[in-house]
Structure 1
Amino acid sequence: MTSEAQQIIGACVRLFRERAGLTQEGLAMKAGISYQYLSGIETGRENFTIGVLEAICAGLGVSIRTLIPTAYDNASGHFAPLVNPSFFRCGVPLPEGLSFEHLRNVLNRTQSVIHRINRNMVAESGETLQNLIQGNNFSGLVSNILADSFHYCSPYKHNHDQRYPDLINPWANNGASGGLEVKTTLRIGKGGESHNGHDGWHVVACYNFTDNGDIQFVHVMFAWLNGHMHDAPDWKYVGSRVNEETGSRRTETFNTTPEGNLKLRDGSAYLDPTKVLFNRWKHPPDRVPPTWSIWSD
C-alpha cells in the first residue's frame, strides 16, 4: 500500500534529480538500483529502505537530513526559490574547474539553506532570521553559507576561516591561484570589498529578499583582480574607519578601484535583467570590453 511518506519523499527525490540534470537511468546507475525501481520510488508506488535512500542521496549529492525536511516543506507548499537557468551568461570565464552546473547547484543550495533556516525560525519565534540580526551580520552569514555550498557542490573546498582565500581548488593546475574569495551583498552593482586586497579570483553575489523573507540571487560576478601591490592594482586601501552613527571601527579594508568594478561587472555570470539595470552604469566610452562583457552583448 502506498503511504503518504513514500509519495512525499519520492516527489522530492524527483525534484532533486531534475535539479541535478540527471535522468532516471543516470541516477539509478549512481545509486546501484534499476531505473524501474527508481521510477516507482519517485511516484510513491515503491517502498524503500534507509539504505536505498542513502544510496539515492549519495547519487544526488545531498544528505538525507537535507532531503527529508525539504520533502515535507515542499509538501506543505513552502518551496525554496530556484535560480533562473536563462539568467546564466555561459560565455563568462569562471575559475579553473568551476562549471555553470556547479554554480547553479551552489546558488540553489544557498537559497535552500536560508529557506530552511527561515522556516524553522518562523515556526519557533514568528520571525525570519534577517529580522533578528543586523544586516551586515546577515550578509556575512549568507557569505559563509555560499562558501559552504561551493565546498559541497563544486571542486572548491574550504581553506581556513582566518586565511585568504576562502576556498581552494586542490586540483587546479595553477597552484595558489586556484582559489576563490567569496562576498555577498544586498547592494546590486556593488564592487568588491576585502580585508587584504590580494591577487586572485573573487565572486560577489548580490541577492534580494522575497516576500516571505527568503533570498533570491539576482547578480553574480566573477573576476580575477590584481592585488593592491600590483603595478596596475584593482584594489585601493580605505583604511580602518569609524562609523559615525554607531561609533564602531571597521577592520582594515580594501575596496575595488573603478577598473576592478568594471572587471567584476564584465564577469556577470548570472544576471536577472529585471532587477539589474546595468545600462544605467557608467562605462568609459573608450574602453573596449572583453567579448563576454555585459557591454558587448
Structure 2
Amino acid sequence: MKTIGVLTSGGDAPGMNAAIRAVVRSAIYYGCKVYGINRGYKGLLEEDLEEMNLSSVGDIIQRGGTVLKSSRCEEFKTEEGRLKGVKILKKYKIDCLVVIGGDGSFNGANKLSEMGFPAIGIPGTIDNDLEYTDYTIGFDTAMNTVIDAISKIRDTSSSHERVNIVEVMGRHCGDLALYSGIAGGAETIIVPEMEISSDEITQRLKTTQKRGKRHSIIVMAEGVEKIGSANDLKKKLTEEAGADVRVTVLGHVQRGGSPTAFDRILASRLGSRAVELLLDGKSARVVGIRDNQIIDMDIQEALSMKKTFKKDLYEMAKVLSI
C-alpha cells in the first residue's frame, strides 16, 4: 500500500478530525501518500480530492466537525456509482480507503471491499449504535454536551418549579438519552428500546409532586413512537398532572463542539490502527474498542450484530430517580 485515501461520511461527530489526523500522520510516518476526499462518497464521485501532508492536519485535533466535510450520497448506493468511485480512486493511484462514519458509511466500505478495493471502517457517530464496539467516536462529547444542557435547564426548572422535557438525538438507539439522563439526574428517561407509557410517566410525575418536589427533568430520545413527540407528552402532563411543562429540543448542538479528551484519544488510537491494518494487507475490517483494548473485526460481521441495550443501567436509573 503506497497511497491511502480517507473520507468522512454521514452525520458528523466530534473527534472525526482527530481520526483524520491520526490516519494522515500514521500513513506519512510509514512512507505512504494520503489523499483526503472531501464530502464523503459524494465528493469521491465528483473527484473532490486533495493530497494531504503533515500541515494539512495541524491544529485540528481540538476542532469539532470534520475538515473533510461530510454528506450523504444516494448515487454511491448503486453499483454504477461504486464502479465510478473505484475508477476515480484508481485514477489517483489510491490503493486503499479509510472510511470514518456510521453503519451506512460502513456499508459503502464493505461494497468496495467486495469489489476488490481494500477499505477499513472507523466508527464515527454520536449515537453509539454499533454493537461491535463499546464506544463510537463522538458519543462521549455529545453526551457531555447534553449533560451540560441538563445542568443549566435544571437551574431554571428548579427556580420556576417546572417540568422540563429535554429531547436528544437517538431515533433508534437510546444510549445518548440513557447515559446523559443518568449523569444528569433525570427523573425519567425515555428511550426507543424500553416500553413506557405516557400514563406511567404521568404517574411518576404525580408521585414526585406528592412528596413535595415541584420540578423534574425528563430526558427523551427523539421519535419514541408510543409516546409521540415531546410536545405530545407536554400536553398530557399539563392536562393530567397540572404541571408547568417546557420542552427543549437540543437538536444539532449535540453534534458540535470541541471533542473531549476521551474522543480525541479514541479517535487517535482507531485511526492509527486502521492504517496498520491496511499496511498489513487487511481489508473489509472495522476497528473499535472493547474493554479499553483496540480491536478489529470483519465488517460484515460487525454490521450484522444487533445493538443490545443496557437494561441494567436503565433499571438502575429508575431506582435512583424515585
TM (norm. structure 1) is 0.26
Greater length-normalized contact order (CA 8 Å, ≥ 6 residues apart): 2
Indicate the structure with greater helix content.
Answer: 2
TM (norm. structure 2) is 0.25
